[in-house]
Amino acid sequence: MTTPQIVDSHCHLDFPDFDDERAAVIDRAVDAGVARMVTICTKLRLEPQVRAIAEAHAPVFYAAGTHPMSAADEPLVSVEDLTALAAHPKFVGIGESGLDYHYTADTAEVQKTSLKIHIEAAQETGLPLIIHNRASDDDMIAILTDGMAAKPFACVMHCFSSSAKLAEAAIEMGFYLSMSGIAAFPKSGDLRDIFAKAPVDRILVETDSPYLAPPPHRGKRNEPAYTAHTAKIGAEVFGLDYAAFAAQTTANFDRLFAKAAGWRP
């Protein structure tokens, strides 16, 4: 029986957690049915090493930006910096960018500036924006709404674990919500209810590995192979069998990350 194919739409394969067995981690993902992975660069100065991983492994694509928690510590990225990266055939998204007021509320203003630059790069390139949001729903809705009014762009709310208000606003703007291991945690019933109210054709799955491992691996290092565990919960949320949910989320990924869908080795 063929294993249903799914996509890990957000992981961090360049992190030192994987240094000892990166190739093996990618192989395990493929064996688990994770046919493609998008590894995310969170500090632009590290882009060369993230790009090298994508170049070395056929199932791996990449995106780059400045994580909001690093926005005050890293040089402010420019639209030109980001759009130049889009020439690479395996560069498929802008970010992750966004707002995080949980840990870094004191840098809110530079986070907002950085986010607006990433939005403009998404508008210029046509590549999807990858958003991190924590404890900043109202500002996030305002900035994304203003950006869409200026010039539409595509977007995924990565590792979505925010309010129903933000979920509804994102869906209204045509964006996607991504399910991480958080959605599989036993006490995340309210979050699963938010996902259940979203159209299934706007749902992606991800690991955010090495973080947020879903059960039965919770508390351990996460890796792309574990996308399958979150996707099984996602299938239950939407009342689908696993193969149907895997096919739907893969089609959703291909629609949003069209450059990855069109890539040929």
pLDDT digit string (tens) for the chain, length 265 residues? 689 999 999 999 999 999 999 999 999 999 999 999 999 999 999 999 999 999 999 999 999 999 999 999 999 999 999 999 999 999 999 999 999 999 999 999 999 999 999 999 999 999 999 999 999 999 999 999 999 999 999 999 999 999 999 999 999 999 999 999 999 999 999 999 999 999 999 999 999 999 999 999 999 999 999 999 999 999 999 999 999 999 999 999 999 999 999 998 8
- Whether the upstream peptide bond of residue 216 has omega within 30° of 0, thus cis, is yes
The whole-angstrom separation of Cα 225 and Cα 97 is 25
The predicted pLDDT at position 238 comes to: 98
pLDDT for residue 95 = 97
| Dihedral of alpha carbons 70, 72, 75, 81, sign | positive
The CA–CA distances, whole Å, from 98 to 60, 66, 108, 143, 231 equal 23, 9, 10, 10, 25
Cα–Cα distance measured from residue 154 to residue 165, given in angstroms and rounded to the nearest whole number:
19
- Round to whole Å and give the CA distance between 26 and 19: 12
Cα torsion at 211, 212, 216, 219 (round to 10°)?
70
Stated pTM of the model: 0.97
All domains in the chain, ordered by first residue: 6-262 (3.20.20.140)
Q: How many angstroms from the chain centroid is the CA of residue 116? A: 18
pLDDT at residue number 1: 67
Distance CA 141, CA 17 (A): 33
Is the CB of residue 42 less than 8 Å from the CB of residue 66?
Answer: yes
Q: Could you please report the per-residue DSSP string of 78-118?
A: -HHHHHHHTTSTTEEEEEEEEEEHHHHGGGHHHHHHHHHHH
CB atoms within 10 A of CB 103: 11
Tokens of 102: 């949980």
**DSSP label of 9:** E
